[in-house]
Each structure stands twice: as C-alpha cells, then as structure tokens.
A = this chain, B = another copy of it.
Amino acid sequence: MDAQNMIQSLGTEARKAAATLAQSSGGMRDEALLACARAIRKSKPSLQEANDKDLALSGEFGLSGAMVDRLRLTDDRVESMAAACEQIALQRDPVGQTIAAYNRPNGLRVEKRRVPIGVIGIIYESRPNVTADAAALCLKAGNACILRGGKEAINSNLAIAAVLRQAIKAAGLPPATITVIDNPDRALVPAMAQAQGLIDLIIPRGGKALIRAVAEAATIPVIKHYAGNCHVYVHGQADLDMAERIVMNAKCQRPGVCNAMETLLIDSAVAKQFVPRIVASLLDAGVELRCGQLAEKILPIVDVSEQVLKEAADEDWYKEYLDTILAVRVVDGLDSAVDHINTYGSGHTDAIVTESIQAADKFVAAVDSSSVMINASTRFSDGGEYGLGAEVGISTDKLHARGPMGADDLTTYKWVVTGQGHVRS
C-alpha cells in the first residue's frame, strides 16, 4: 500500500472514531484514561521488552548517547506515563464548555461552545512517552489521533499503542482513537500533512529540520514549535540575590532544553553591582560568556582577564545554544530590553526580574512572547509546570494555541444558536 492510500485508510478509521468521541461523555473518556493508566502499569514488562528491541537497534541507527537515553523506558518513565493519564483524567472536561453565551434582543440564544477538533496528527522523534502523553491529551479533548514516531522507537511506540487501544476498547470507546503508524516509509509524513478532510491539524515535535519539512509540505494547519531563544532581563529595580538565583537556574539547571536562558540582559542601572558577581558565578559553573560591547561595558567593571570573556557577534543574539554558553548584554532601560527581545527572540519564554509592578506590567504588555515570567526562571515554561498534566507541544505560533498546549488547546468551538422558529427579516 502506498503512503497516500495508507493515510486514507487510517484517516477514515480515525474520522469514524472522532465522530463517536464527539458524542461521548467526559465521564466515559475519563474512565478510558484511567483504564489506560492501569493498563500501562500492568504492561510494564512487555513495554520494556519492546523498548529493549529498540535499544538493541540504536547502534544501527547511529543514535548518540543522549538520544539513547531519551529512548529508554525506565521504570520511572513507564510510571510517569501512567500518572500523566491519571492527572489528565482528573482535569475538568474541556468539551462542551461554554466560552460565551447570551440572548440577542430578538430572543435568539447564541452560545459559543467548545468541541473537539476531530483528528490530530502528531509527528515526533525518539521519546516514546510522547506516544502516551499525546494520545491521552487527544482522548481527553475528544479527538482521535494518528501518531507517527521515529523509526528508532517504533517497537516501543507500537507496544504502547497496543496497550492503550485495548484499554480504550474495553472502556467502550473505539480503538481507532489512537493509531500508531507501523510503517517507516518517509512518504507518510507529507501524506499526513496533506490529508485534507481526514486530519484536521498536524503537530510536529522534534528538531527544526523535521518541523520545517512538515510545515513546507503541509496543506492542512500545522502548529509549530521552533526555537527557544529565551531571555532573562535583570531590571534596574531587581532584587539582585533573586536575580542571581534565577539566572543561574535558567542557564545551568538543564541547558539543553528549549526553555533554558540563552541571553542575559542586564540593566545599566545595576550593571556595576550585578555584572561582576554574575560573571563570576557563571564562569564558576563552567558557562562560556559572549558579551556585547565587551571592552566598553563589561571589562571595565569585572575582575576577570579579557581572555576568559568573548565578544558577542550579532548572530549570537539569535542563537539557541542548548549548551553552557550564554550571550550577555548591558541594556539602557526597559524599552531597550524589550527591543532586544522582540528583535532577536523567538517568542518562546522571556523573564524579567524586578521589584517594580509598573516595570513588570510594561514588560508583560510589550514583550511579544508566548510565556512571560515575572521573578521566576524561564525553566518553568512547560505543560507539567503549568498544571496541564502533560503537553502535546509548545507552540511558538500565535494562532490557535500559544506556549505549552494541553487538552483545552486541542479543542475548537462551534456556535450553537437556538430560536423558537426565528426567521430573518
């Protein structure tokens, strides 16, 4: 079967499942999620057995050590898949929620009501727990999903899907609620992204190359997650102890992830006090620093030999290092900080450290990013920390969903208009 026929056939089954899900009660979907949690825990040995097959092949696929680590279904990771299903089951049902409702002067009742989107396609790499998390969020919101994971995790993904499908079926909902594609054919990716009328939305999760390839091939809507070039701005009225804790956490706690800080902006009002101590702490932690106007603004106030610090090039302000490297710039006031962020940032997550309510409010209104943090580390920007149970991705798009996406973001709405025989004159 060629790619298009395969998607046609799987998509048709998924659409039927979506039609059933659109009419299912939230209680039934929650029961299915709890059944999934129990089934995952019970199936741990068989899931890990399937995972072992993938791990055995990881050398053949040339996976790096970090990638092999992400692929591994440890006891903790199996448990956290089950726990995510339970947490998601406990959330309130987004389907059927009233977004707005009012009566018109002519007596017509107008309501904007949340409904499932339909069929969601998710294209992702390596981590097999995405299979369970994404499927659980889609089910919560009444959607069917078609999942296309990487070939390096195919045995794990298929084993997880088999467990979930059986649990969902036993709970009285259609097993085609979850489909994992068992075919490594690359042509399936564009076929999914062009499946108009069958798939309503594609969410790619993975590296930039994957996301770009999906977005370029797509004729159906795509919600994308590009770079996380996150900033921390230490304002002139910052508590500098707090600022240091936040900066160190945002850069060093896990440098390889999208919500780690990549550029530090320091207000010139506190540069003399703050630059020396933060430079010392960051260098101590093994962070390489690339500084704007190194000779003019940094070297005169630090007690560090100039060999240790590097001058930042213009392209450094755009970079998502995902490493222990940090760009540093002294800025003249809040407007300059905002300008820098809106010019070079990626609209992911940007933080201000300040004791001033006015400065915080202005920063929140002016920075055009999906998450804006006040006196908190950028590292909090994710679905788990926001209480979404899990996330189906972090959107750096502005349309439909922005930032970490939970079950609510997997819904659309319909207008429900009720009359008593109303006709228009």
Q: A residues within 8 Å of B by Cβ?
A: 19, 22-23, 100, 102, 104, 108, 110, 113, 115, 117-118, 200-201, 221, 223, 239, 242, 245-246, 248-250, 253, 342, 360, 362, 364-366, 368-377, 379-381, 385-387, 397-400, 402-404, 408, 412-425
Contacts and interface: CB of A to CB of B under 8 A. Distances in A.
Q: Which 4 A-B pairs have the closest CB atoms?
A: A376-B419, A249-B423, A242-B421, A379-B424
Nearest to A364: B416
Main SS at interface, chain A: mixed
Nearest to A18: B368
A421 B108 contact: no
A109 to B, nearest CB: 9
A239 to B, nearest CB: 7
A414 B246 contact: no
29 contacts: A22-B365, A22-B368, A23-B365, A104-B385, A110-B387, A115-B365, A118-B368, A221-B399, A242-B420, A249-B424, A250-B423, A369-B414, A370-B414, A372-B415, A372-B416, A374-B416, A374-B418, A375-B420, A375-B422, A376-B417, A376-B419, A376-B422, A377-B422, A377-B424, A380-B417, A380-B419, A385-B424, A398-B412, A402-B415
How many monomers of this protein are in the complex?
A: 2
Nearest to A366: B23
* Of listed A108, A248, A342, residue having the most chain B CB within 10 A: A108
A279 to B, nearest CB: 19
B118 A398 contact: yes
